[in-house]
Amino acid sequence: MFLDELRSSEYDPPSDDDFARTALRQIELAANHLRSGQIVAFPTETVYGLGADISHPQAIEKIFKIKGRPRNHPLIAHFSDLADLEYWASEIPSAAWSLAEYFWPGPLTLILPKSDRIPANVTGGQDTVGLRIPRHPVAQALLRALGTRRAIAAPSANRFGHLSPTLAIHVREEFHNEIGMILDGGSCEVGLESTIVSCIGETVTLLRPGGISVDAIENLLKQKILNNPLRHPVRAPGSLPAHYAPDTPLEICATSSALWARVRWFQQQGLRTAIVTHTPPPGAHQEQSDFILMPDNPVTYGKMLYATMRKLDRLGYDQLLIEAPPNKLDWLAITDRLQRASYHYLNKT
């Protein structure tokens, strides 16, 4: 039980001091779980993470096991203090310092050469590591409670390849009793995974779009960054072509008219079809009960995306149709997630 559950309890509401004390006890308990080699799910501003103390190899192995995650697919190391960046990374170019100082805490992961303090099972055997300081107050409090120069290795708290969780209930539904503890920090502010940028040597490369836009990075660095992750030698989290997928087959339709044409086709086949669009439907479809009109703002859309797909997944549809996002740079992260989510549908035989 954490803050959201406490606030909705059906008894006389406790004082703010009681809330603070309860939150502190929960965070201290979670830190003790991590120190003893257990797994803790915790909120970040991006999505919920499935965390292990980086100094416990068996706990890190448990993450791979319960997620069904390939051992060569690296994890991100989360820590709390920018002053410790040199503790976790061995070589830090000036571009990485600029990005860290400006965007941390926040939804940006930097790929850097790892120090000897990062175990190989965190990096998938690579000599590089993804590092991030999360912004969520619960994540920050947990890292502080864990102790000085400690880090949490954490992927998203879901089965490998599935939709990432943006609420604590999503984690519970995914893992039931397989996790020692789940900290409930409410709905994730960003709702999409962090932007991953490689800063190996003098080259800055986008490996995964996310909560920090390409424009923001380029404006800060006063230079264009590379966007060719397939040619980059580093394996990054969430970089497989099939990822972030619902169980319901998902198809992306290039335009609103193409979307509704596909709706009619699936209906003629007698298949239940859910529709996700950011364009108001034409008059003939205004009464369609199975469509969700998403925001036309990429920030709000991104925050709602995973929760919306999870909701539709539970309703037993045969097919999920989604209108393609606008072909604009600020929609890049959403386009990326939808393309990966629809990969199996596009490549089925």
Q: Model pTM greater than 0.95? A: no
Domains of the chain, CATH where assigned: 3-231 (3.90.870.10), 250-346 (3.40.50.11030)
Say what the pLDDT of residue 22 is.
65
d(CA 179, CA 235): 27
Say what the pLDDT of residue 18 is.
54
Say what the pLDDT of residue 13 is.
41
pLDDT in tens, 235-272: 888 777 788 999 999 999 999 999 999 999 998 999 99
Maximum alpha-carbon separation in the chain: 63
pLDDT in tens, 55-78: 999 999 999 999 999 999 999 999
Instruction: Round the average pLDDT of the chain to a whole number and report it.
Output: 90
Q: What is the CA radius of gyration of the chain?
A: 21
76 membership: H or E segment, kind and range = strand 76-78
Say what the pLDDT of residue 173 is.
94
- The answer to whether the beta carbons of residues 161 and 233 sit under 8 Å apart is no
Say what the pLDDT of residue 311 is.
94
Only one residue has tokens 């209906």, namely: 267
Place 287 in a pLDDT band, splitting at 50, 70 and 90. low
Token readout for 86 is 């040199």
Say what the pLDDT of residue 348 is.
54
pLDDT in tens, 292-325: 999 999 999 999 999 999 999 999 999 999 999 9
Report the alpha-carbon angle 29-33-39, nearest 5. 130
d(CA 187, CA 48): 9
